Amino acid sequence: MRYFAWIVRIALFLLVLAFALENSQVVAVQYFGPAPWQAPLVVVILLCFALGTALGILAVIPAFIRMRREISLLRRQIKAGQAELPPSGPPQ
């Protein structure tokens, strides 16, 4: 199974490398500034992907913190023997 995982990793790397080599032309990106920013297309795509990933992670953090806090509270209640278990049957 390890060999299969390495084969998949190498194949994925080669696909990304081929994509980068095919998209090496320089593009101009202008947002709100007066002068456009010029970079290879693959760099622009990579930066957009990284920015989207970072924003997605930041969007999930509040829910993650809330869940961790709730888990901590439930663990304390279980240790104290005060946890109320939900009914284990079909809803009525």
List the pLDDT tens digit at each of the 92 positions of the chain.
899 999 999 999 999 889 888 888 999 988 887 888 899 988 888 899 999 999 999 999 999 999 999 999 999 988 888 656 566 656 66
Question: Are 37 and 30 a contacting pair, CB within 8 Å?
Answer: yes
d(CA 50, CA 83): 42
How many separate domains does the chain show? Answer: 1
Is residue 86 situated within a structural domain?
no
What letter represents residue 11's amino acid?
Answer: A
Tokens of 60: 């999930």
Output the pLDDT for position 35: 85
Is residue 46 situated within a structural domain?
yes
Is residue 28 situated within a structural domain?
yes
Output the pLDDT for position 90: 66
d(CA 29, CA 33): 10
Is residue 91 situated within a structural domain?
no
d(CA 66, CA 64): 5
Is residue 89 situated within a structural domain?
no
Is residue 26 situated within a structural domain?
yes
Is residue 87 situated within a structural domain?
no
Output the pLDDT for position 53: 95
